[in-house]
Structure 1
């Protein structure tokens, strides 16, 4: 591999073509990139200058891969948008002497038990939380907290293993579900958390931090379904969302409490009767194409912003759009074999406001809803639209969904 004429940006993991493809494409438009991933590049080969194969969740392996790349190229920065590689990426940036977060801060973000402790110590409005290892401990903690409670793995993501429990009688089944999810979680935390249930609409605040100074960029309104599970099935970003001035200070406070100094953050919270309260801080670009929604609504390019910060540059935070963007993620009516998958009302030619229609499952494939499945097994497709207002975006999504036919054979 020949040495690049320009310093490279190392991207660690995050190579799902549907949900992270735009991140690589937008980053590669600004920087030559090298990839560290669990397998060689395929669809993104034309965007990558060099690569190393490594276990992206193993800091030792990622550092070794990064040092190999640094022996061949000058490196400008290191970035990830993969939740499970945050600690490894921080370790590599430290070893290379590049801008980035400390491994302590990234571990605090990954381990929700540590996050809750730091929120409490810094006066960040959050939820009462107890880490437990057994059903007996969970029962004691739930009774002390008061029902309903939420059980969740300490260091997982994407709502895997997260369940609401309304009564003591439901705890044993809920414990089996949460502890099964905890068995798959990252090494940064352990056990299951028993937490106070925060009642109210769920949102996230998309932020950027540089040299410890955090700026809130946008609010994402979330649609959560499949109770008592917390499956996210839709998101809306409005450039003029009036919530931003109210929730921005709390998001900034939460990021600071965890010791995060650089990068893009996805700060989740609920709007409760006592005010906004933090669910968690993810120190990376949000999933479910929320970064794409932010760009469509505001013009802000989160992958480019993250790359600039990682390379020690001042990001451009100038808004160039003022719109609403929304995504609806399509789920089947039941678990089974997908037998019909049709969206009949898409106009031809496709209207400019319909930015994406992507199928994630083909007819003949098995789809599995919670609790037996999760987002990886349940999602069939997605739609992204833009409009002048949230109400208009919802109407466009509803109109499209009205022509949707999804059937399964048990």
Structure 2
């Protein structure tokens, strides 16, 4: 019997194998995927039905190339799993009249001051356009502050004085120059009491928002409270917290999001939960994998379904916990040795991946960022405590050595 070929789904950006292969695999299992990117990385090719070769740094070129492809092929939807491409994907989908949040709404998410101006329960922050306004904002809020470039996909940078504000501003500006959709920088208050959590939600319609998981940060005091991992527990009490659920839905409504997968960062303070940031895209850092392992809900596939106008399945099929740990270097230098743990026979070790090779240069604290991570590993367990124990057990079997510059002694982890 003759069947009509399925219409392709256009994916914006292949991403990085170690962090994005899981999402691509899940999307490709449900849709023929055509990749729009500068080049197709070898790891992604087996999952693809086609490609549109174009540099994603030029929105005009991308729009023309995707428009030409769509004129010759009936595209079912446009999706991305990289937050930095969320606005570009929305622009392309709107251009082709496909299901999507408006590019303006996605840009509003990146302009984090909007929630504050709308009297939403959020942290105090100021949008800034130049170095001088960043200094004024920092002095107004009071040190310490945090500078953020939401559209650039970089971590917030803490500043404790004027000179650190200047340095952070210049660093974030450089990071955003490659992004044609880079938004205004923000200067934000820090030092709020209470932990920070992520909320993974799915917007089925403007009136229906489903909270599917709560992501807890795993902190390291030696790294100035930076996250060294995340955990998700199917039995997390916050999943049943009506105040948190309403807060996230209110933020999504305020920002004008109408469809798709959303990640919200929330600070649980003494005065109640406060919105730090809302992203109109899948969370990065393998958080979608943790959701799948803990709850059996596939957010990448849900995003693809919504991009094509379908309703995703969001019923949990698992009730356990999952967690990830990132290995950061303790010093700057070149990686000279990596030894993989001999633990793969253990059913709870979901995966282990090196994200640097020997010979590559990495930065140690305080300048190290996600790009300096040496490795990561994912474990599952009955609850968060068991996962954290298994993360520690795995860490004991990981060996990484970074040699200091020149002839200094090597550091071993």
Query: TM-score, normalising length from structure 2?
Result: 0.90
Structure 1 partner of 2:84: 84
**Residue 260 of structure 1: SS of its match in structure 2?**
coil
| Distance apart, 1:99 and its partner CA | 0.5
**Residue 87 of structure 2: SS of its match in structure 1?**
helix
Mean CA deviation greater in 324-333 or 122-131: 122-131
Matches within 5 A, 1:99-248: 99-110=99-110, 112=111, 115-117=112-114, 119-153=115-149, 155-159=151-155, 162-166=156-160, 170-185=161-176, 186-197=179-190, 198-212=192-206, 213-225=208-220, 231-246=226-241, 247-248=244-245
Please, which of 246, 253, 264 is the counterpart of residue 261 of structure 2? 264
Matches within 5 A, 1:277-288: 277-288=274-285
Give the distance between the partners of 2:6 and 2:331, measured in 1 at CA: 51
Give the distance between the partners of 2:41 and 2:71, measured in 1 at CA: 20
Please, which of 372, 375, 383 is the counterpart of residue 370 of structure 2? 375
Give the distance between the partners of 1:312 and 1:270, measured in 2 at CA: 33
Structure 1 partner of 2:382: 388
- Verify the 8 A CA contact 1:164 1:228 in the aligned structure 2: no
| Distance apart, 1:19 and its partner CA | 0.6
- Verify the 8 A CA contact 1:151 1:175 in the aligned structure 2: no
Q: Using a 3 Å threshold, how does the CA distance of structure 1 residues 314 and 84 change in structure 2: closer, same or farther?
A: same
Give the distance between the partners of 2:124 and 2:374, measured in 1 at CA: 35
> Which runs of 5 or more structure 1 residues have no equivalent in the other structure?
none
| Distance apart, 1:48 and its partner CA | 1.2
**Residue 396 of structure 1: SS of its match in structure 2?**
helix
Structure 2 partner of 1:317: 314
Structure 1 partner of 2:411: none
- Verify the 8 A CA contact 1:179 1:191 in the aligned structure 2: no
Structure 1 partner of 2:407: none
- Verify the 8 A CA contact 1:333 1:407 in the aligned structure 2: no
Q: Using a 3 Å threshold, how does the CA distance of structure 1 residues 122 and 244 change in structure 2: closer, same or farther?
A: farther
User: How many corresponding residue pairs?
Assistant: 395
Deviations 1:30-49 (A, max 9, x none): 11111111213522222211
- Verify the 8 A CA contact 1:222 1:232 in the aligned structure 2: yes
**Residue 293 of structure 1: SS of its match in structure 2?**
helix
| Distance apart, 1:370 and its partner CA | 4.4
Query: TM-score, normalising length from structure 1?
Result: 0.90
Q: Using a 3 Å threshold, how does the CA distance of structure 1 residues 122 and 327 change in structure 2: closer, same or farther?
A: same
Structure 2 partner of 1:404: 398
- Verify the 8 A CA contact 1:324 1:387 in the aligned structure 2: yes
Q: Using a 3 Å threshold, how does the CA distance of structure 1 residues 61 and 362 change in structure 2: closer, same or farther?
A: same
- Verify the 8 A CA contact 1:236 1:326 in the aligned structure 2: yes
| Distance apart, 1:225 and its partner CA | 4.5
**Residue 339 of structure 1: SS of its match in structure 2?**
strand
- Verify the 8 A CA contact 1:153 1:179 in the aligned structure 2: no
- Verify the 8 A CA contact 2:197 2:215 in the aligned structure 1: yes
Give the distance between the partners of 2:350 and 2:223, measured in 1 at CA: 32
Give the distance between the partners of 1:174 and 1:403, measured in 2 at CA: 39
Q: Using a 3 Å threshold, how does the CA distance of structure 1 residues 400 and 63 change in structure 2: closer, same or farther?
A: same
**Residue 237 of structure 2: SS of its match in structure 1?**
coil
Deviations 1:46-68 (A, max 9, x none): 22111111222433222222222
**Residue 403 of structure 1: SS of its match in structure 2?**
coil
Q: Using a 3 Å threshold, how does the CA distance of structure 1 residues 147 and 227 change in structure 2: closer, same or farther?
A: farther
- What value does the CA root-mean-square deviation take over the aligned residues? 2.1
Deviations 1:284-304 (A, max 9, x none): 111111000000000001111
- Verify the 8 A CA contact 2:135 2:165 in the aligned structure 1: no
**Residue 137 of structure 1: SS of its match in structure 2?**
helix
Q: Using a 3 Å threshold, how does the CA distance of structure 1 residues 233 and 177 change in structure 2: closer, same or farther?
A: same
| Distance apart, 1:93 and its partner CA | 1.1
